[in-house]
Chains A and B, each alone.
Chain A
Amino acid sequence: MPTAKRQLQAEPLIFHTVNYLIMLFVVVVTVYPFLNTLAVSFNEGTDTTRGGIYLWPRYWTLQNYEAVFITGHIGHAFWISVARTVIGTVLGVFLTSMLAYVLSRPEFMFRKFITTVFVLTMYFSAGLIPTYFLIKDLHLLNTFLVYILPGLISAFNLIVIRTYIRTLPESLVESAKIDGAGDFRIYLSVILPLCTPVLATVALFIAVGQWNSWFDTFLYASSKQDLSTLQYELMKLLSSTMNSNGNPGLAAGVNHDPSTTGMVTPLSIRAAITIVAAVPILVVYPFLQKYFVAGMQLGSVKE
C-alpha cells in the first residue's frame, strides 16, 4: 500500500509543523508583552505617547528608572517589598519546616489533632470583614508586622514539606536520638540540611507571594505611605493610567501625578516599575524549575 506509506511519512511532518507553529504562538504571546514593556521602560516617556513602540525603544533613556529609584517614594516602597519578602520567606520557611518535622514524627501524641487543625484552614476562611476586625483588634493596622504575621504558615506548604520529610530514612532520626540529640537539634542539624530541594520550592512560593502582594497594603496599611510596597505603587499607577472606561490611552494620566515631570509619564514609569517588579522573579524561577515541578506534583497529584 504505497499511498498509506506516503501518508505515514507526510503526516508527522504536517503535524510537527503545525505543532511547532502553535508552540511558537504560545511563546510569542507570552513573551511579547514583556519585551514591549521593556522597550517602553527604556524609551522617553513623552515620545512613547506618540505611539509605535513595539520591541525596541526609539529614544533611549534611563530617566524612567531614575524616576523610580532616585526621586519620589517608589524607591522606599521597593525596599519595603524587599524587606517583607526576605523576612517573610525566612521566617515562613523556618517555622513551616519546623512544624512539618514535628508532624512527621509518628510517636507525637498531638500529631493528628494539630494536622487536622491546619489542614482544615485550606478549606474555609473567616472572610474579609472578620479578618479585618481581628487585625484591627490585634493593633496590627499600619504596622510592618501585618505583612508577615497573617500568612506566616500555609497548610499547603506544610503538607508538601511533611510529605518530603517522610521519604527520608527513619534511621537518621533514630541514630541521632541514640546519640542523645533532642528533637529540635535533630530538626535543625539532621532534617533541615536534607530538605534543600523542598525548602527551595516552598521558599519560592512564599517569596513570590510576598513580593507580589498588594492587597494587604491596600487593606491594612494604605494610610501609611512609609509602608507602601512596590506592587501597591504599581497598582495605584495602573488605576491612574486607566481612563474611566478602562482604556489606558498613551497619554492617560499625564500630569496627574506631581512626581512625574519632564520626559517621564505615568505610563513610562509604570513600565519601569513593572520591569523592576518582574525581574527578580524572572532571574530566580528558571533555576528552581526542577524543584517546584516536583513539589507541585508532590502536593497535588500524589497523595
Chain B
Amino acid sequence: MQDTVLGSDAPRRTERRTGTIRKRMWSQRQLIWMSFPLLIYIVLFAYVPIWGWLMAFQQYRPGFSVFNQQWVGWDQFHFLFSDEGFLQVLRNTVAMSLINMVLGFVTAIGFAILLNEIRKSLAKRFIQTISYLPHFLSWVIVTGIVATSLSTEDGIVNIVLMKLHLIDSPILWLGEGKYFWGIVGASHVWKEVGWNAIIYLAAIASVDPSLYEAAEIDGANRYRKMLHITLPGIKPVIIILLIMNLGHILDAGFEVQYLLGNGQVVDWSQTIDIFVLKYGLKVGNYSLATAAGMFKTVVSIVLLFLANSIAKRLGEERLI
C-alpha cells in the first residue's frame, strides 16, 4: 500500500527554485485552498492533543497551565505497573482481544467457506444480506439484545439450554466473571461474522477455478478441495489480516465491556479504555489516566510497525 498511499512520482528536483515553486503554488492555488483548511483541521484535532501526553509526566492539578505543573518523571508509569488493578486490566484487555481475534477469524473464514458452497444464488444473497445486519447496529442495541437473551427470566439462551436438558436451572450468565470473556467474544462474533466474511468471500472468488477442476479429475472430494485449494488460496489474506490484528492487541473494545459489565464481574470486564475513563473523568487523576492511554498508543504503534515489517518479510507489501 505504501506506494499508492504515499505517492510514487519523484519530485522534480530541477524545478526546486523559489521562482518556479511560487509559480507552481500560484497555478495550484485552488488545490491549496481546497486542502489546507482540512490540513489545519486534522492537525488541530489529531496532532495537537498529543501535547497532552506531557501530563503523563506530571502530577496534573486542574486550574494551572501545562507548564506550571509539578514534573514527576516516570512516576505515573511506575505506579501503573506496580498497581494490581492496572495489571488486571491489562490481562483482561489482552485476553479479550485474543479471544475476539481467534473466534472472529475462525467463524468468519468458516462462514465464508460454507456460504461459498451454497450454489443457489438467491439463497446465498439472502443469507449474506441477513448476516450483515448486526454490523450496522450500535453496540448499545447489541448489548441490549445480548443482555435480554441471557436473562434468567425468559432469556432465550437459558430457555433453549433447559429445553435441551443441558442445564437444570437458568444460569446467571452476566453475573459471573468466568463467563464474561466468552460472552464478549460471542457478541463480537454475532455482530461481525457476516461483515468480516466479505473479504474472505472476495478472496475465495478469486481462486483459480481450474485448480478445482484439476482436483476433481484427481478424485478429490469436497472437503479435500476446501482443505487443499480454498484454504491455501485465501491464506495470504488470512495472514495479512492476522498480522494487522496483532497490532490491535490492546484494543479489546470499550463499549461492550462498559455496557455489559457490572459490579459482579469488574475483575474480568474492565479494559484499559475503561481504566482510563474511570481514572480520568470519574476520579479526576488525569495524569495517571493519560499515562495509561499513552502506554496503550505507544504499544499499538510499536506492534503495528513490527507487524508491518513481518508482512514485508513475508513478501506482502500492502500494509501501512
Q: Which residues of A contact B (CB under 8 A)?
A: 8, 11-12, 15-16, 19-20, 22-23, 26-27, 29-34, 36-37, 51-54, 95, 98-99, 101-103, 105-112, 114-119, 121, 123-134, 149-150, 152-153, 159, 163, 182-184, 187, 208, 211-215, 219, 231, 234-235, 238-239, 242, 244-250, 270, 274, 277-278, 281-282, 285-286, 289, 293, 296-297, 300-301, 303
A-B contact pairs, 13 of them (CB 8 A): A27-B131, A116-B6, A117-B42, A123-B300, A126-B47, A127-B293, A128-B273, A130-B55, A130-B293, A212-B140, A238-B147, A246-B147, A246-B172
- Report A220 CB to chain B, min CB distance, Å: 11
In terms of DSSP, what is the predominant structure of the interface of chain B?
Answer: helix
A97 to chain B, nearest CB (A): 11
Quick one: which of B121-156 are within 8 Å of A by CB?
Answer: 123, 127, 129-134, 136-141, 143-145, 147-154, 156
Q: Which residues of B contact A133 (CB under 8 A)?
A: 49, 52
Residues of B at the A interface (CB closer than 8 Å) are 1, 4-7, 9, 21, 24-25, 28, 30-35, 38-39, 41-53, 55, 111, 114-115, 117-118, 123, 127, 129-134, 136-141, 143-145, 147-154, 156, 172-175, 190, 193-194, 198-199, 202-203, 221-222, 237, 254-255, 259-265, 273, 276-277, 280-281, 286, 289-290, 293-294, 296-297, 300-301, 304, 318, 320
Contacts of A245 in B (CB 8 A): 172, 174-175, 262-264
Interface of A is mostly: helix
Cα–Cα, bound, A105→B88 (Å): 50
Which listed residue (B6, B198, B261) contacts A115, Cβ 8 A?
B6
Asked whether, in the complex, the Cβ of B4 is within 8 Å of the Cβ of A29, the reply is: no
Question: Within the assembled complex, what's the spacing in Å between the Cα atoms of A101 and B189?
Answer: 36
Find the A residue at minimum CB distance from B139.
A212
Our pick among B32, B50, B130, B259 for the contact of A238 (Cβ within 8 Å) is B259
Selected from A16, A29, A215, A296, the residue in CB contact (under 8 A) with B198 is A296
- Residue of B5, B131, B138, B289 near A30 (CB, 8 A) is B131
Enumerate chain A residues within 8 angstroms of B152, measured Cβ to Cβ.
247, 249
